[in-house]
A = this chain, B = another copy of it.
Amino acid sequence: MNTSVQHLRVDGDRLWQSLMDLAEIGATPKGGVCRIALSDEDKRGRDLVVQWFKEAGLQVRVDAVGNVFGRRAGTDPHARAVATGSHIDTQPTGGKFDGNYGVMAGLEVMRTLNAQGIQTRAPLEVAFWTNEEGTRFTPVMMGSGAFAGVFGAQDMHLQKDGAGISVGEELQRIGYLGDVACGDVPNGPFAAYFEAHIEQGPVLEAYDKPVGVVSGALGQQWYDITVQGMEAHAGPTPMELRHDAMLAAARMVDAVHRIALAEAPHGRGTVGHVQVHPNSRNVIPGQVKFSVDLRNLTQEGLDRMDAALHAQLAALAAQCQCTVEVVQVVKFAPCIFHPDCVHSVRQATQRLGYDHMDVVSGAGHDAVYVNQIAPTAMIFVPCKDGVSHNEIEDARPDHLAAGCNVLLHAMLEHAKVA
């Protein structure tokens, strides 16, 4: 690190103001944001951010799925870019910070360097990825997935929303069907990618740490479970003659919890959706369907959880004179971020004097896809009560500034001051 930039800091007030200004577009009465991917609000949000990119002197390019990149030239004409970014689409009742923070933090890095007249050897880029939320069009993290080559741009164009409108049509309509091929970057792939994001969980707040150094993201395996028992009258049916699908399902929910605890600290097990049939007060349930969401940091860990799930659910079904069907419906592999990038984040945090801890991301992020084609890491900052995907989502200006300073210095370490 060039000693001349060691004391460089972003402008936290400007960062906050940009977040508040962007949050005006699609603002909801409850203080949140509704800016669903490729909607009119998304177009207005995109237009504003592109205008800011241009005002910051960035060269803007748009790719075939509407990902937008703002590039700040470097002094080395052959150096590969050091990049950052996130998304500006939101959930229908989303907040001001999820995604938007990463994009505004990237813009603030550019503005800070501009204000100080600092040039870098490698070019810098700030991106916003199309349709991270997946609330209107599937798959989630569509833009970064297409950029990483996981999805084809043509296939993405054909994806339709509930009203039958396609991604391709909407990109065309809002003016973001770009001519750059997905994954194409001048001088070749990113040399490094850093994404700043609110944690969307309670860990940093619980441990009172303003910055989380994100070493990876949990893999996810989702299942649909069907427990089949036999419907019967609650009164005339003695306990020992029952085939109570709800009792079996209840014990399975507890088993899912224990399976996750056995994989501490990274194991997660959640039953979020439960559907009981016939769901009548004085009828013993004949069928219960529920979801299982298992997460862990390694594939070996997920495999152990998967085996335990199958074994324990089968045993509990038999114990309750029921049968069970277990169907895996979603699988995301665990992600380990690049050690060099994680190291840069940790070092920047230490040099800046922020109290911090290593964390893993429990949720998916664009960075998880970018990590497949470029060295990547993430920076988390706390959000109030760990709440996200909610209009009451909130974060502290000093935490947001801290995360942005870490981003600035991690990017500078890789891009080098010229």
Binding site for B on A (CB under 8 A): 199-203, 206, 218, 220, 222, 232-239, 241, 244, 246-247, 249-254, 257, 260-261, 264-265, 267-276, 279-285, 291, 293, 295, 361-364, 386-389
User: Is B233 a contact partner of A388 (Cβ separation < 8 A)?
Assistant: yes
Q: In the bound complex, do residue A250 and residue B241 qualify as a contact, i.e. CB atoms below 8 Å apart?
A: no
Pick the residue among B201, B253, B275, B291 that contacts A247 (CB under 8 A).
Answer: B253
Q: Are A235 and B362 neighbours in the complex by a CB distance under 8 Å?
A: yes
Is there contact, CB below 8 Å, between B273 and A274? Answer: no
Write out the residue numbers on chain B whose beta carbons fall within 8 Å of the beta carbon of A249.
250, 253
Decide if A272 touches B246 in the complex (CB within 8 Å): yes
Partner of A202, one of B202, B232, B267, B362: B232
Contacts of A251 in B (CB 8 A): 250, 254
- Closest residue of B by beta carbon distance from A223: B281
Q: Judging by beta carbons under 8 Å apart, are A239 and B257 in contact?
A: yes
A241 to chain B, nearest CB (A): 5
Q: Which of B241, B275, B280 is A206 in contact with, Cβ under 8 Å? A: B241
Q: Is A274 a contact of B253 with CB atoms below 8 Å?
A: no
Write the chain B residue with the least CB distance to A246.
B271
Are A389 and B222 in contact, CB atoms less than 8 angstroms apart? no
Task: Assess the B293–A281 pair: CB atoms within 8 A.
Answer: yes
Q: Are B236 and A201 in contact (CB under 8 A)?
A: yes
Residues of B within 8 A of A279 (CB): 272-275
Q: Is the CB of A222 within 8 A of B253?
A: no
State the CA gap A364–B222 with chains docked (Å). 43
Given known A-B contacts A233-B388, A253-B247, A238 and B272 have beta carbons under 8 A apart: no
5 contacts between A and B (CB under 8 A): A203-B238, A249-B253, A251-B254, A272-B284, A281-B291
Residues of B within 8 A of A202 (CB): 232, 236-238, 241
- Report the minimum CB–CB distance from A204 to chain B (whole Å): 10
Separation of A364 and B234 alpha carbons in the complex (Å): 11
The 3 residue pairs across chains A and B that have the minimum distance between CB atoms: A201-B236, A235-B362, A250-B253
For A271, the chain B residues whose CB sits under 8 A away are: 246-247, 250, 285
Cα A254 to Cα B249 in complex, Å, equals 10
* CB-nearest residue of chain B to A271: B246
> Whose C-beta in chain B lies nearest to the C-beta of A294?
B234
- CB distance B233 to A201 under 8 Å? yes
Task: Specify the chain B residue showing the minimal Cβ separation from A288.
Answer: B274
Q: Are A363 and B236 in contact (CB under 8 A)?
A: yes
Q: A201-B238, A236-B361, A270-B282 are in contact. List 10 more A-B contacts (CB 8 A).
A: A235-B363, A237-B268, A239-B257, A239-B268, A246-B274, A251-B254, A271-B285, A272-B276, A272-B284, A274-B274
- How many angstroms from the CA of A162 to the CA of B222 in the assembled complex? 41
Residues of B within 8 A of A265 (CB): 238
Complex: A291 Cα to B282 Cα, angstroms: 9
B272, A241: Cβ atoms under 8 Å? no
- Measured between beta carbons, the chain B residues less than 8 angstroms from A236 are 199-203, 361-363, 386, 388
- Bound CA span A264–B247, Å: 17
In the complex the two chains form, is B281's CB within 8 Å of A387's CB? Answer: no
